[in-house]
Structure 1
Amino acid sequence: MAAVETEGGRAPAWRGGFGRLWSAAVLSSFGDALRTAALPLLAVSLTDEPLLVVSVTACGYLPWLLFGLLGGAVADRVDQRRAMWAVDAVRGLLVAAFAVAVACGHVSIGLLVALAFALTTLQTLFDNAATALLPSLVGPDALGSANARLMSGQRIAGGLLGGPVVPLLLAAGAAVPFAVDAATFLSAAALVASVRTTAPERAVRPSGGTLRREIADGLRILIRDRVLRGLCAATALCNIGMGALVATLVLLVTDRLHAGSAGYAAATTAYTLGSLAGGAADRRLVARVGRVRGVLLAGCVQTAALVVMGTVRSLAALVAAMAVFGFMGMVWNVSTTTLMQQRSPAGALGRVGSAHRTLAVAGAPLGALLGGSAATAWGAHTPALLAAAFFALSVTALTPARKPDVPAVAPHDDATTAHTGR
């Protein structure tokens, strides 16, 4: 739990467990970006049926809806470090076998769907275990900075490095991106396996306890804590808006602004760079306003940025709005994740985190459908305005938690919350 004192809080030391966890996360994000970009291209080469192509992407969402809460409950039962490296090792072997199948020409849409479904099913355990493990590596005072550095590193690897590399790897062969992805999984597994940490204390489970009962207990913790309850509701609403925006952004840039693929690339790059700036500025911003107020500020500014996207006809204004949107989006993500980790009991963090993620994943496809319908009915600019409405609702959902930095144990809200000492 070593940490370095810095202005506005504490930053995690790179040596030891956090540095290895960060390296593993960045490697995995790079590999994920390669696979995510290569799978649809491979699907298109196998079939011209849109429904079959979309099914590959859809299977990246479905396991979260089916197994997300279960993955959180399992993460609270097991040694999170061992679960993480074991899952990454299995995923690495699966993707390596898939790369061999692609190289040998024995690949089909069914195999792509099966791979996407299996990898995301395993991810439900990995991501929840990672969320629960981090507080034991860095300590509560460095948690916000640790989350910011993790998310920024993942954004660089996945957003800036992974995508542009895919065409180069595909030129060497259709199987190459998947072989590299397999290598990143296996390397990440080795890094996580080398982490040494003390497992968090867990309450003794009552005899006869079942996963269903433990999931229900985790949901009760979430519902009783007004901050966690507000964060989950706000996350669900935001991700509906994000789904609407992401699914139709290319239409907004190319149809309404007539900016073509170069304009679309400029908009997405601005979002990524804004996110990285938000990760760098998060600690100082939160030191001034507090975590809860930081989330509220981020939601308000993002709402305004979405209104600009839906009303202006200038590519420069859109790019600027996307940069601001990405900046505040990173502040939102870091703060909501940190608050969830701080306020959840150590033995229930996996279950609370899984509820948070499941709601987020469920909102994205719903938002994509709403955004597509709005664009068809009223024009390419309306999904951004629709997203602004959902972001405004998310800010409203957070108002019960608007007091700055509500203590980890709040005696007046009937919350079961985190112990500050680990």
Structure 2
Amino acid sequence: MTTTETAGTAGSGVAPAWRGGFGRLWTAAVVSRFGDSLRTAALPLLAASLTDDPLLIASVTACGFLPWLLFGLLGGAVADRVDQRRAMWAVDLLRGALMAGFAAAVALGHASLPLLLAVAFALTTLQTLFDNAATALLPALVPAGTLAGANARLMTGQQLAGGLLAAPLVPLLLLAGPAVPYAADAATYVLAALLIASLRVPAPARPPRPAGSTLRAETAEGIAALRADRDLRGLCAATTLCNIGMGVLIATLVVHVTDGLGAGEAGYAASVTAYAAGAVAGGFAARRLAARTGRIRAILLAGAAQTGCLVLLGAVPALAVTIAALAVFGLLGTVWNVHQTTLMQERAPEGMLGRVAAAFRTLAVAGTPLGAVLGGAVAAGAGPHAPAFLAAALFALAVASLRPLIN
């Protein structure tokens, strides 16, 4: 199956109404991302306080993505079987309890690298079900023509809360106590669970499963559906390459800024904030760009420009350049993500969105832990600025792989 896009239709979807449940889902997603960003910004700093080995620091990031390899496909099959709303609020309650326990351990001085690795692994294991269920739930809350607008609003709100509001607060919260960011994350999970539980969504319409159907067989159906769609298959391969590059960047950014630039925790917070500010702007730009070029071309253009940002990041070791490059990089990343998600939601067969999303995410996210380990090794062997060039090479390969999809 192929895509034929026109400049006027690919990005013309309007924004969805806040009523009908979308507003509550949006609020839950934004609140949860706020807490997650507190945690993800604080964890590398906590890891860096426990060891000065870049490879060990990068391992915390890698362990946070590894469960997608082990449980991602299963999470998608389960998401297509269960009530997605109930699955989401139950997972958030579990994640809230887990983070409350971790916050208590940090407050009592029991933080250690093994504990950080275990927490990162457990949170992502639960996320495999939550994310696939959320992707499948959204089309039930908004009209089909507003999917791109809904995805843009969700991603913009998450970046606004998670980057522009949360990241700058991390140094201040750490002054109040090393456990405060993690306690706040636990509270946001509980609030998000309450919001999702309040949604009134009809039970999803699914074709009856054949007698004796197994999760393994249903998972295989999702993989087959992804493989059969040329555009989704090619986009998945490109996203996998980009995620290897993102793993390289994410895992070593704290080393690049604090050691390579000597900018300390404040410089790291400013860099993360710049990325988030760009990502917010990308939410406003995504539909306009696709309206002119089509979804696939918008993704290709975004990836090509991101490659240039990574080259600049490695070639010019200055905090101001790092901040500017990450801001543009974040804007383009949102353009990619909005149209990647929308294409998947539009093209997945009925009743299979959870499994198709799971197959896509599992294959794509598989690259991130590999990239994190590679980035740590490159930083340890070639210096803190070298990983940016490795990430740029991977993004360039991803862009090249998308060229055949342009009709």
Instruction: Name the TM-score class by shorter chain.
Output: 0.7 to 0.9
Q: Partner of 1:356 in structure 2?
A: 360
CA contact (8 A) 1:44 1:53 kept: yes
Q: Partner of 1:410 in structure 2?
A: none
2:37 alignment partner AA: A
CA contact (8 A) 1:226 1:400 kept: no
Alignment of 1:236-251 (within 5 A): 236-250=240-254
1:186 alignment partner AA: V
Deviation at 1:115, TM superposition (A): 3.4
Q: Partner of 2:186 in structure 1?
A: 182
Q: Distance in 1 between matches of 2:372 and 2:153?
A: 29
SS at 2:15 equivalent: strand
1:120 alignment partner AA: T
Alignment of 1:16-415 (within 5 A): 16-39=20-43, 56-100=60-104, 111-250=115-254, 252=256, 264-312=268-316, 316-375=320-379, 380-403=384-407
CA contact (8 A) 2:30 2:158 kept: yes
- For residues 266-308 of structure 1, the C-alpha deviation after alignment (integer angstroms, 9 at most, x for no partner) is 5433322211111111121111111111111111222232333
1:11 alignment partner AA: A
Structure 1 portions without partners, runs of 5+: 1-6, 404-422
CA contact (8 A) 1:227 1:400 kept: no
Q: Distance in 1 between matches of 2:195 and 2:226?
A: 32
Q: Partner of 1:408 in structure 2?
A: none
Identify which range, 254-263 or 53-62, moves more after superposition: 254-263
Q: Partner of 2:15 in structure 1?
A: 11
Structure 2 portions without partners, runs of 5+: 1-10
CA contact (8 A) 1:293 1:402 kept: yes
CA contact (8 A) 2:73 2:358 kept: yes
Deviation at 1:12, TM superposition (A): 0.9
Deviation at 1:315, TM superposition (A): 5.1
Deviation at 1:178, TM superposition (A): 3.1
SS at 2:221 equivalent: helix
Deviation at 1:201, TM superposition (A): 1.9
2:308 alignment partner AA: A
- The share of aligned pairs that are identical, in percent, is 67
Q: Distance in 2 between matches of 1:94 and 1:164?
A: 24
CA contact (8 A) 1:148 1:282 kept: yes
Identify which range, 64-73 or 372-381, moves more after superposition: 372-381
- For residues 16-51 of structure 1, the C-alpha deviation after alignment (integer angstroms, 9 at most, x for no partner) is 311100100111111112233444555677x55958
TM-score by length of 2: 0.86
TM-score by length of 1: 0.84
Distance 1:214-1:43 versus aligned 2 partners, 3 A rule: same
Deviation at 1:142, TM superposition (A): 0.8
- For residues 346-397 of structure 1, the C-alpha deviation after alignment (integer angstroms, 9 at most, x for no partner) is 3111112122222333212222333344455555544333222211221222
Deviation at 1:53, TM superposition (A): 6.5
CA contact (8 A) 2:58 2:251 kept: no
Identify which range, 388-397 or 209-218, moves more after superposition: 388-397
SS at 2:344 equivalent: helix
| Paired residues, number | 396
Deviation at 1:159, TM superposition (A): 1.6
SS at 1:347 equivalent: coil
Identify which range, 244-253 or 231-240, moves more after superposition: 244-253
Which structure has the larger Rg?
1
Identify which range, 36-45 or 221-230, moves more after superposition: 36-45
Q: Distance in 1 between matches of 2:208 and 2:297?
A: 36
CA contact (8 A) 1:237 1:391 kept: yes
Q: Distance in 1 between matches of 2:385 and 2:250?
A: 12
